[in-house]
Structure 1
């Protein structure tokens, strides 16, 4: 018996899927948007479920019928005899897509299909099946388009990209069927058949590596799945399915018994190594695939001499503001590593920003349009051969392989960096400082801040005022970015670029990315975690370094209160300095979780309390007594967790008065803020002993910017 079968897939994979489906037995495959349609037996449908590396779902069509109203949809579904597919007390689920005939909402459409099925069973048996969203006995799919309904059974159940081996994923996961498409487009089956090797320099949780191994070892992608959409289907024929399953198991055993190919992955984030290795183990390819910790600067794969090889990777796309500028250096660095260590190889790079691909210094000989979810992408294929390299001074619309000569202004900027590095670098080394500001708009036309975090570089572009020509500002910033790597000898993967502008509304609290990359740095006697990628600020205010060290020196035996504590770096210093107790208050759970990690990094336990609360309200209710208080409030805050707004100029009097009621006799309160036009209320100087110690708290790396903060020392009058 022959059935109409529809295979769905990510947009852009239709042609590949049609070819694959034909090899698996689908007759007369026809490409449609995000799908392939054809005819085949039940055995063909089962084989497609088990072996398709590209399909998302395998739909076996039950009925097609015209729909011009909601009632027509209901009646069309009821004409199908569901007793052949589902028991009266079974469980089912309806997926609905499309619209028309008065049906504009997919939930409403699914509800009418469900009603038709349930009413049929009620009428014929007096019983009714129930809805199960987790693991139904039958999953129906109805698509409505141009007045035509197509009702089908989803034989896959869950999407076929869910192979059953990936339980953990990274921040930007690549679906398995898209990974398979990348490998097919990169001609990996040919390279594997010739005994070739494969490397991924940014492997994440090893999706590409595992798919490559499964292809090379002739392993059916569906063998790790525990449940299928047809498992409890009443028309399921185990006598057809079981031999296909046994054949696939035999082919897998035979394939994995062959000498393994050299398949290696490298990942800079150490937290992804355990999930990657767990995925590899579950997929059964641990003796084929190995992953190691290493950033792009260490990528130098060494398979057997003369072995054909493929480098395949899915680098970041540069969707965040300012990120594309720093990613240009990442792609440039990737191209350099390929040219230096992978000569004679092939490479395939998936990018959501083809302009970034031009930074690699090589001409792609093939490009394919794909979609990663809703994001349009390009797969760029390269032959790592000298004839495909851009040469210096070649006239081309694309980027040259070597950096362009610096303009006169950029050369002046580079010279300023060298001068700063000589003076501040020597100072930082002498003082044992790992994190410091190297440049801060020293040349007004190059308006950026440049911070060193150990061996990382954090560049923040100040948004130009409206009076400055936008194109000229962008040109100057690009010139600065061109000068930075050579002067500071930093690799692209250790360079982070952002744009700093005035934060409005809730912007100041919003996360900027999801990379989750924490770096451990040392400051004084403590270790602290910074994150350069996900937030506007890094988690460590560099200008407060002297004040944190001062607090640590004064902390022994003290009860310490840290208000607006952020990541509690000051509290960690004080705890390490011998404080009797610390209490740190902030509204942000994210920052308090960060604080927990900072305390743990230093092995600090004991009476160190973290409080999630709105500071003013908490102070009004707190009855504790503290010997040392530090307040570093925001200039402005309108967090949804607080009533009204906080304005440091308007509200600092009440804030300090509330805090001073909690200060023990002989105690000290330090108040600091970054509002450049801040003026301390004169009434405070009449009630308390106040000393402006700003000059004492400005570090050498912020000497050029004496308005970075103001700090006052309060004691009881």
Structure 2
């Protein structure tokens, strides 16, 4: 065989340029980059060195042969023509990886099977011995890539991917691959800083991947020094003496590096469950004397190197995938920026994020940004110099820093985010919140109302609803029209979220945000998260449970408060029926008002369980019936009489009896006729809904006494939007 081989190094997409520099430094000749790979030429010693020292590659592939292939048969013949006896014994094991398509091969499994068959047939002995397939730990791992009619057949010298260093046996919920972490550190200039004896800190270190990779670089330790099993270990072309020489040289460099005074490397993690796994990973990497991990919140992060030297702060904040994450993530990034400005002057900072728009909220200007991929997720690496000149102060042209808009009240104090750091639009939004709070807060306190709407898209560019639930804030973002740039809509949402804590003086952790779109069928019942956080709130003399995190709705429709209080006033001694009862908040009010009995009907088990807890919370249980049923079907079968009926149906809902889906506009006549047959003489039926285009059928007025009472069912917190719902009172003609 030739002493010089064609070598392919594969890597995560976006690391090609860095890998090219590294490969050239390690001896790869004629190197050039390709998509997710670097190609060049090297002798076997260099190939071994790439396996041992590459911090960025996934695999080191040694090309055995290139040949044209236009059919499955030419693929088979080309693979079989290789002298496989030079590489694998007939009793050995192999695994085949196949990529690409063409030549009549569109299925990678079929392609791998043809390659395997060719190798096995070439090595089959007269006695019938032949290699067997072993996917997990084969003697030889073969890779074939089919590309534009050419087959590239290679041996995988690395075996398992080189990012698997072996020290990280325990990992967190969203682990960063080791070679990506190394790339981030290289982009951030850590090798140079480490050579200068500078420090490194990670305020959200998780299980310590950044810390270990930084320690390996600082101590001049080959990243795969401790790996025992290689793709070339059982390869017949392997030269053990050459490998042992390179490995011994790497061990000597590691010993020399670790004998030097350690570089200051520290990690901090808020989750106590990750501290020991991080320390275990550090110990397996042999860096216990260099790298330390402590439990600590971001709010108290303050790196203090032994010699007082500055260095690099590096972190990978969470990206946020669950409902309500936008608010918590915004405040996390704001806190991170605040800690950098207050505790890390003179340091460099590197923030790797899948939510780069949040990086803009840190209050620092990044001097460099790199587009990277974390698996299939596009991300950015933001680099900062923590210097006063790079602080984003929020100053607005023509107005002193921190000054409010003309005619607006000054922002309230007590806030972790400086009001001066708000954008001009954010400041205007904050001022509107304060104005509304001043007006509505007095009314709410006077009426004994703890939950109310503070803001409802008052300013068209900030299309959110802001509701107060005691000392919690619930934010709903309305879906922007197609004419609005999604990036601009996201920026405005972040402006609003940044403004809420300083404007209302609330803890950022008590702000929950959700996206609100039109919900059809049963989507409004779908669980969105699993926090299970119920909290008790009060409405007049009634206690209710709300859940701000797990569902799109909270369990309490704020706009129907006047209707609930009306039902409470009229319920004494009456038989009350609540159809489409949801969490039965109206039922609780009726029971509190002295209803003789109540019956509440809904199709959702989730909400009936919630209703049961609401009733129990107020001491009601025995005489209050909860029925799980399709409302229309139940009305057709029920023969009870009720003095007071409340119907607040969804716009659309699954129904067994009405063409599969209940449509409020189409089906309300049938619904109301059925309900009116259950209304006792002298009774009243209240009907409301939130469908903006709803029109009550005129024929109902010929059969019943119908009175629209919409204006009487809108409290001051919804006066800005008087058509939030419509309501009618029906009784016998």
Q: State which of 43, 62, 65 in structure 2 corresponds to 1:63.
A: 65
Q: State which of 304, 313, 337 in structure 2 corresponds to 1:311.
A: 313
How far did 1:486 drift? 4.2
Tell me which residue corresponds to 2:389: 387
Q: State which of 401, 404, 422 in structure 1 corresponds to 2:438.
A: 422
SS at match of 1:182: helix
Tell me which residue corresponds to 1:523: 537
Equivalent runs, 1:350-369 vs 2, <5 Å: 350-351=352-353, 357-369=359-371
Is contact 2:95-2:138 (8 Å) kept?
yes
Tell me which residue corresponds to 2:464: 448
SS at match of 1:531: coil
| Alignment deviations for residues 499-547 of structure 1 (CA, whole Å, 9 cap, x no partner) | 53435799878999xx977766443578765438xx7556775567897
Q: Structure 1: which 5+ runs fail to align?
A: 586-610, 662-668
TM-score, normalised relative to structure 1: 0.70
262 and 81 in structure 1: CA distance in 2 versus 1, 3 angstrom threshold: same
Is contact 1:362-1:382 (8 Å) kept?
yes
Tell me which residue corresponds to 2:575: none
114 and 517 in structure 1: CA distance in 2 versus 1, 3 angstrom threshold: farther
Tell me which residue corresponds to 1:487: 503
562 and 245 in structure 1: CA distance in 2 versus 1, 3 angstrom threshold: farther
How far did 1:184 drift? 1.1
How far did 1:274 drift? 2.5
Tell me which residue corresponds to 2:420: none
Return the alpha-carbon distance in structure 1 between the equivalents of residues 249 and 32 of structure 2.
28
TM-score, normalised relative to structure 2: 0.69
How far did 1:418 drift? 1.3
- Alignment root-mean-square deviation, CA: 6.0
Is contact 2:90-2:125 (8 Å) kept?
no
Q: Does 1:570 align with 2:611?
A: yes
Return the alpha-carbon distance in structure 1 between the equivalents of residues 202 and 700 of structure 2.
61
Aligned residues: 669
Return the alpha-carbon distance in structure 2 between the equivalents of residues 82 and 192 of structure 1.
46
Return the alpha-carbon distance in structure 2 between the equivalents of residues 84 and 443 of structure 1.
75
Q: Quick check: 440-449 or 503-512, which moved more? A: 503-512
Q: State which of 659, 663, 684 in structure 2 corresponds to 1:647.
A: 663
Q: Does 1:460 align with 2:477?
A: yes
Return the alpha-carbon distance in structure 1 between the equivalents of residues 663 and 366 of structure 2.
54
Equivalent runs, 1:678-697 vs 2, <5 Å: none
Q: Quick check: 108-117 or 549-558, which moved more? A: 549-558
| Alignment deviations for residues 536-593 of structure 1 (CA, whole Å, 9 cap, x no partner) | 55677556789756656889999987632557543443455574799999xxxxxxxx
SS at match of 2:144: strand
Is contact 1:365-1:381 (8 Å) kept?
yes
SS at match of 1:150: strand
SS at match of 1:460: strand
SS at match of 2:366: coil
Tell me which residue corresponds to 1:72: 74
Equivalent runs, 1:117-516 vs 2, <5 Å: 117-122=119-124, 126-164=128-166, 165=168, 167-170=170-173, 173-203=175-205, 206-218=208-220, 220-222=222-224, 228-230=230-232, 233=235, 251=254, 255=258, 261-266=264-269, 274-275=273-274, 277-284=276-283, 288-290=291-293, 292=295, 294=297, 298=299, 300-304=301-305, 306-315=308-317, 334-351=336-353, 357-374=359-376, 376-390=378-392, 406=405, 414-425=430-441, 436-442=452-458, 447-452=463-468, 454-455=471-472, 458-461=475-478, 463=480, 484=500, 486-489=502-505, 500-503=516-519
Return the alpha-carbon distance in structure 2 between the equivalents of residues 373 and 344 of structure 1.
33
Return the alpha-carbon distance in structure 2 between the equivalents of residues 18 and 232 of structure 1.
28
Return the alpha-carbon distance in structure 2 between the equivalents of residues 49 and 584 of structure 1.
67
How far did 1:344 drift? 1.0
How far did 1:449 drift? 0.6
Is contact 2:349-2:384 (8 Å) kept?
yes
SS at match of 1:365: strand
| Alignment deviations for residues 204-252 of structure 1 (CA, whole Å, 9 cap, x no partner) | 5654344334444555544676865445555556666677778777848
| Alignment deviations for residues 590-609 of structure 1 (CA, whole Å, 9 cap, x no partner) | xxxxxxxxxxxxxxxxxxxx
Is contact 2:141-2:156 (8 Å) kept?
yes
Q: Structure 2: which 5+ runs fail to align?
A: 409-424, 565-583, 678-684
Is contact 2:324-2:549 (8 Å) kept?
no
